[in-house]
Amino acid sequence: MLPELGLLALILAFALAGAQAALPLWGAQQDRPRLVALARPLAGAQSLFVTLSFAALVQAFVRNDFSVAYVAAHANSLLPLPYRVAGTWAGHEGSLLLWVEILGLWTLAVALLSRALPEATVARVLGVMGIISTGFLGFILFTSNPFARSLPAPADGLDLNPLLQDPGMVAHPPLLYMGYVGFAVAFAFAIAELIEATPGRERPPFSWTRWARPWTLAAWSFLTAGILLGSFWAYYELGWGGWWFWDAVENASFMPWLVGTALIHSLAVTGTRGSFRNWTVLLAILAFSLSLLGTFLVRSGVLSSVHAFASDPRRGLWILVFLSAVVGGSLTLYGWRAAAVGLGSRFALVSRESALLVNNVLLAAAAGTVLLGTLYPLVLDALDLGRISVGPPYFETVIVPLMLPLMLLLGVGPWLRWKQSPPQEAWRQLRWLALGAVTVATLAAVALQLSVGVALGLGASAWVISATLAHLWRQLSPPGSRGLRRLPGSQWGMVLAHLGLGVFAIGVTLVKGLETAHDLSLRPGDTARAGAYSVTFTDAQQRRGPNYIAAQARLELTREGQASPLVLRPEKRLYTVRQVPMTEAAIDRGLLRDVYVSLGEVTPDRRWIVRVQVKPFVGWIWAGAVLIALGGAAAAADRRHRRKAPEPQADSRTAGALPRPLQPA
């Protein structure tokens, strides 16, 4: 009964979303306050019914209702409860339901927290979000019903793919979707701006960008956390110690992240200085378009990977049509109305605006090259021009030369003044830091015999970290001190995120440059050398888990000059329901290195293949990413975003303009 109620709630949500898409937008165009006032109630109701439907599916998983085909395909009565809940988004249908559920939550949040905005703007923003909800709810209802029954019900379910039976599965998809879908808010604001902008009259700089900024920062922060968690999960779960594979599915989340990063910087410029106006609108459109493209790539089945579920051409077609309608429609609107939004205030060649413009160009170029590498094989294949693959070497070759100048610029940017900045001033402030970074890199390279690439990476990281800390120090020290507690959230956010990038870059550089891997073939009792370690395979034993059986090896790793050995217990598991083998690596984590041991297959004469890897500073990759995500959260929480009226601006050209909420309608 409950699954049918869930379906009913989904149908009602679809109808409500249709109304939410049509009525407020129409009302705002026709200036009908009663239709405009419908925006919030409709958005709230739509969100409520989607949530009810989502809860019904979770409930079916919790109660092991295997008469629901989707539940039977992704759960099993032996599966522990947290994984049964996570099973809700382990397949195509449920993950789409999670998508609209999260869109519903963002919609509700916008409806509740937009009291300071003009009613017509709220109506347009919620209307645009309603269009997106309608598209996705229709997609679920017409092609991917998660509540379909299969009667008679099977006695037990097919179990969750063992790769997905991990705490990472509980948190990674919801966080990632919070990010992806959150860009819909910035998108909706941008579309509303395109509709509302009046040619010839540039609006005050604190209009839509001010409102959209905390939403975008929050979404970006979630996206960062989601990607970070996925990478961390892949590192230990896939069993072979990689943390980023340039897999098309990873790229699908990385492209919106790159454009989103450009967007939060460009929003800051438009919000405080009024420059980059129509560029910011375009970035908001692109960030969400890439999120949609990511959903299309992952969910349509054009890619084959862990993330690709059973493919059905109707589904791919629906997403493709929806994607073209949203992207094509919004870009057409942009082409038609961008001039009305205007370019915004001018700035000098050396200024903070210029630095941020170059930042935007580099990030957009990075997103473009990733897009090219991701789509090129698909396009060739679709046109029947041959099967190719574009691997990590391509992406590394193009991304590194784009990221290095970005890091150099990142150190300088915050020191530059808005509008116009005397170049000598920044040089005087930063020359010692620059010299310091170069010295650190050179000394490290000579002392540790590093390659040029590693030295460059370390130098750039040292530069980013020292320039960021020095800038923080200058802000906190007199004269003009603002004091620790007076420093606004967005400043803290910037400092945290920039430090995070430095830490992340140290991790990436050292892992890439100095990691080692040794494959050994060992029988119980054997000892062999793996780099600095002597590895003893003491024994292998059978172990029983809730829904798997495992062979667990015991390995002692002794480093030269160390008395007590490191004991690691990697496993080879067999998940019994699906009869799927899995490698469960054993990792000794450390601040300066991880020792990562995994088991390969066993031969009839009881020899095991053991892979021993040492990964220097690998933890810094995720520590850096955590700092970046926290930075986004701190900036999103900046109290100034929640003020009703904008702050008085020193810039004389905007001082005369009324803030939008006070303008006559």
Residues that bind another protein (CB under 8 A): 161, 163, 239, 304-306, 308, 348-350, 361, 365, 368-369, 372-373, 376, 386-391, 393-394, 397-398, 401-402, 420, 423, 519, 521, 578-583, 598-601, 603, 607, 609, 611
Q: How far is the CB of 585 from another protein (least distance, A)?
A: 12
Q: How far is the CB of 566 from another protein (least distance, A)?
A: 21
State the Cα angle at 184 between 182 and 190, rounded to 5°. 125
| Residue with Cβ nearer another protein (170 or 609) | 609
Q: How far is the CB of 163 from another protein (least distance, A)?
A: 7
The residue written with tokens 């699954």 in the block is 3
d(CA 404, CA 461): 9
For 241, 602, 604, the CA distances from 607, given in Å and listed in that order, are 22, 6, 7
Q: How far is the CB of 316 from another protein (least distance, A)?
A: 14
| Residue with Cβ nearer another protein (295 or 598) | 598
* 540 residue type, one letter: A
d(CA 34, CA 27): 8
Sheet holding 608-616, edge to edge: 516-522, 608-616, 593-602, 586-588
Q: Is 646 helix (H, G, I), strand (E, B) or coil?
A: coil
Q: How far is the CB of 445 from another protein (least distance, A)?
A: 24
Q: What are the b/e assignments for 190-214, b being 16+ CB within 10 Å?
A: bbbbbbbbeeeebbbbbbbbbbbbb
Q: How far is the CB of 333 from another protein (least distance, A)?
A: 25
Question: How many angstroms separate the first and last alpha carbons of the chain?
Answer: 50
Q: How far is the CB of 20 from another protein (least distance, A)?
A: 38
For 229, 360, 589, 645, the CA distances from 618, given in Å and listed in that order, are 14, 28, 9, 45
DSSP 8-state secondary structure symbol assigned to residue 649: P
How is residue 231 written in tokens? Answer: 């990478």
| Residue with Cβ nearer another protein (370 or 464) | 370
| Residue with Cβ nearer another protein (444 or 580) | 580
d(CA 252, CA 263): 17
How is residue 317 written in tokens? Answer: 């077609």
Q: How far is the CB of 275 from another protein (least distance, A)?
A: 13
d(CA 184, CA 129): 7
| Residue with Cβ nearer another protein (59 or 583) | 583
Separation of CA 222 from chain center: 6
d(CA 522, CA 176): 41
d(CA 217, CA 223): 10
Q: How far is the CB of 516 from another protein (least distance, A)?
A: 15
Other CB atoms closer than 10 Å to residue 439's CB: what's the count?
12
Q: What is the 3-state secondary structure (H, E, C) of 594-638?
A: EEEEEEEEECCCCCEEEEEEEEECHHHHHHHHHHHHHHHHHHHCC
Cis amide bond preceding 479, omega within 30 = yes
| Residue with Cβ nearer another protein (213 or 611) | 611
Q: How far is the CB of 161 from another protein (least distance, A)?
A: 5
| Residue with Cβ nearer another protein (451 or 521) | 521
Q: How far is the CB of 214 from another protein (least distance, A)?
A: 31
Q: How far is the CB of 365 from another protein (least distance, A)?
A: 5
| Residue with Cβ nearer another protein (160 or 629) | 160
Q: How far is the CB of 352 from another protein (least distance, A)?
A: 14
Cis amide bond preceding 214, omega within 30 = no
Question: Smallest Cα–Cα separation from 105: which of 46, 191, 21?
Answer: 46
The residue written with tokens 């021009």 in the block is 385
d(CA 177, CA 295): 10
d(CA 375, CA 571): 37
- Considering only CA atoms, give the Rg of the chain: 27
| Residue with Cβ nearer another protein (13 or 416) | 416
For 54, 371, 487, 548, the CA distances from 491, given in Å and listed in that order, are 38, 31, 7, 49
DSSP 8-state secondary structure symbol assigned to residue 568: E
Other CB atoms closer than 10 Å to residue 589's CB: what's the count?
12
Question: Smallest Cα–Cα separation from 10: which of 81, 109, 74, 104?
Answer: 104
Q: How far is the CB of 292 from another protein (least distance, A)?
A: 23
Q: How far is the CB of 454 from another protein (least distance, A)?
A: 20
| Residue with Cβ nearer another protein (392 or 661) | 392
